[in-house]
């Protein structure tokens, strides 16, 4: 029948640009929002809440831009509140701004917990019902699709169920197209979510949605519980961004529902892009990506224990609940002093696919790793240095350059560029001597090395140092303690970590920096052409 709802279809409503922007340290410029919306449109996300028109100039401007250049798949949603206490809907500046945004879909929130009605709005329960009903009706009569966010619904339902339902009823009778039940404080349990959703479902056939916060660590579980009870719209943010402890994480919810539970959210070709999408969002808002996130994190399919690796090699299902490729991720076998033969064998096979599991060189590499990790090295965070160690053992690596000498001078009176590094390197038969200023000794050394090498390896221009970490290995040693330096180096194609350990921080840094440059040259070849894996 035309217009019949797909019983296995769930609608995704993305509130990253609005609710996610309330996270500490997160900010979206107008340009950021425009880039984000175009990306979500490209990915086919049905609804994206772009902001609150009238709340600030940025949100007004993004709706102006979307009106002039509308999206093809994604509906840009305007968010706001009901009219104010004692105010007629037709006179509400908030509602007028929502209409002026030009958005086809408008989401407004209203109080569904009588504690907020009496203590925050300082009004009567009856007046609150009027605000909800008249505000929704005003927007519906203006030709807009209206979603109603029943704020604090589950707290209200636990305190005074009849009134919480009456608030939802006011929106439903006024013409709301979807009723979104909100666990705004994030303190509900899955069984409470199920009971609340089922209660509302008993009364109306209107689409029910769920908006869960993560203050109790249950936002994803509560969203899944709501779907089980009959909710068919899920609201959340990518990477779980949001105020306080964040919102329900779409990175986790979407694979759960589509891959594991068989619901239809996106076309099949969307799912292998979800890891890329999660990283895109983190990069856009300049936040550190949580590598331990389910499904999309670098650690999600990383195996370290030797017995686990051996089992996964024999049958992937033994320690993986989904195939990493289905979400655009990859399987990794970590190497450390806890690793078994299987871990090392699989890593070494990347360079020698014919290597047998009982090859004597595997045992030698294991012994070398254990010895180095006893000194403070940690290869699971420095896979570039690990690969160099393996290649040296296989006698398949020749150093593209040698450092003959280096020293660093520091003059604190020179301001920010307080250091000068002097390096002497040899490339084949040619020797180069270079000095370079820098902001600190490590920066000066890095710049001097690159300056000396750029004539021989021009591809290093595209190779960037993107992270530098120092950890004191034994604090009780004071200023004599050994330190571990981990450097992350990146090209447009990939990123790798390298490591150095010494009681001299400059020596540890030099070791990590040089390994990073070795890897960059090895990966591209002397002529700069990328080598096949």
* Rg, the chain, Cα only: 29
Q: How confident is the model over 477-491, as a mean pLDDT?
A: 83
Give the model's pLDDT for residue 283.
84
Give the model's pLDDT for residue 179.
98
Is pLDDT above 70 for 527? no
- Do 11-266 and 401-456 have matching folds? no
Give the model's pLDDT for residue 242.
94
Is pLDDT above 60 for 4? no
Q: Report residue 194's pLDDT band, with 50, 70 and 90 as the boundaries.
A: very high
CA pair distance 177, 172, nearest whole angstrom = 8
Q: How confident is the model over 439-461, as a mean pLDDT?
A: 90
Please tell me whether the overall predicted TM-score, pTM, comes out greater than 0.85 for this model: no
The pLDDT tens digits of the residues spanning 6-47 come to 668 999 999 999 999 999 989 999 999 999 999 999 999 999
Q: Where are the domains of the chain?
A: 11-266, 302-392, 401-456
Give the model's pLDDT for residue 239.
96
Q: Assign domain 11-266 to a CATH class.
A: alpha beta
314 token code pair: 């024999």
pLDDT above 70 coverage of the chain, percent: 93
Is residue 255 within 8 A of residue 219, CB to CB? The reply is no
Q: What is the mean pLDDT of the chain?
A: 89
Q: How confident is the model over 452-465, as a mean pLDDT?
A: 89
Q: Which fold has domain 401-456?
A: Double Stranded RNA Binding Domain (3.30.160)
Give the model's pLDDT for residue 413.
66
Q: How confident is the model over 450-458, as a mean pLDDT?
A: 91
Pairing assessment for the beta strands 419-427 and 402-410 based on DSSP bridges: antiparallel
Q: How confident is the model over 244-259, as a mean pLDDT?
A: 97
Give the model's pLDDT for residue 37.
96
């Amino acid at each position: 029948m035309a217009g019949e709802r797909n019983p296995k279809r769930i609608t995704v409503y993305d509130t990253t640009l609005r609710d996610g922007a309330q996270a500490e340290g997160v900010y979206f410029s107008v340009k950021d929002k425009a880039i984000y919306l175009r990306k979500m449109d490209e990915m086919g996300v049905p609804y994206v809440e772009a902001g609150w028109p009238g709340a600030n100039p940025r949100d007004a401007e993004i709706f102006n831009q979307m009106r002039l250049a509308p999206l093809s798949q994604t509906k840009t949603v305007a968010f706001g509140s009901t009219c104010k206490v004692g105010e007629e809907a037709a006179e509400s500046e908030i509602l007028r701004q929502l209409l002026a945004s030009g958005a086809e879909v408008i989401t407004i929130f209203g109080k569904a917990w009588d504690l907020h009605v009496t203590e925050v709005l300082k009004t009567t329960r009856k007046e609150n019902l009027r605000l909800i009903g008249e505000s929704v009706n005003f927007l519906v009569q203006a030709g807009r699709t209206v979603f109603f966010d029943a704020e604090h619904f589950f707290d209200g339902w636990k305190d005074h169920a009849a009134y919480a339902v009456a608030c939802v009823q006011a929106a439903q009778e006024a013409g709301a197209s979807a009723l979104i039940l909100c666990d705004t404080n994030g303190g509900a349990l899955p069984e409470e979510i199920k009971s609340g959703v089922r209660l509302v479902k008993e009364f109306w056939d209107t689409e029910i949605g769920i908006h869960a916060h993560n203050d109790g660590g249950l936002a994803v579980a509560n969203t899944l519980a709501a779907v089980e009870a009959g909710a068919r719209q899920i609201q959340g943010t990518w990477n779980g961004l949001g105020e306080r402890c964040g919102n329900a994480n779409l990175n986790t919810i979407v694979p759960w529902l589509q891959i594991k539970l068989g619901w239809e959210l996106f076309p099949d070709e969307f799912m292998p892009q979800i890891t890329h999408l999660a990283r895109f969002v983190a990069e856009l808002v300049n936040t550190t990506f949580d590598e331990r996130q389910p499904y999309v994190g670098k650690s999600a399919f990383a195996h370290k224990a030797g017995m686990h690796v051996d089992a996964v090699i024999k049958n992937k299902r033994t320690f993986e609940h989904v195939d990493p490729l289905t979400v655009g991720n990859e399987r990794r076998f970590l190497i450390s002093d806890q690793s078994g033969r299987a871990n090392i064998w699989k890593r070494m096979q990347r360079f020698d696919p014919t290597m047998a599991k009982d090859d004597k060189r595997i045992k030698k590499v294991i012994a070398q790793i254990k010895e180095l990790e006893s000194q403070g090295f940690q290869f699971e965070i420095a896979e570039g240095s690990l690969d160099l160690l393996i290649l040296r053992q296989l006698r398949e690596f020749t150093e593209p350059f040698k450092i003959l000498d280096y020293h660093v001078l520091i003059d604190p009176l020179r301001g920010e560029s307080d250091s000068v590094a002097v390096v002497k390197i040899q490339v084949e038969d040619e020797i180069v001597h270079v000095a370079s200023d820098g902001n600190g000794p490590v920066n000066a050394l890095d710049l001097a090395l690159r300056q000396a090498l750029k004539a021989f390896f021009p591809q290093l221009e595209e190779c960037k140092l993107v992270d530098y970490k120092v950890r004191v290995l034994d604090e009780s040693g004071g200023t004599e303690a050994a330190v571990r330096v981990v450097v992350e180096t990146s090209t447009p194609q990939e990123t790798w970590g390298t490591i150095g350990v010494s009681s001299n921080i400059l020596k540890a840094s030099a070791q990590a920096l040089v390994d990073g440059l070795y890897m960059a040259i090895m990966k591209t070849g002397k002529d700069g052409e990328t080598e096949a894996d």
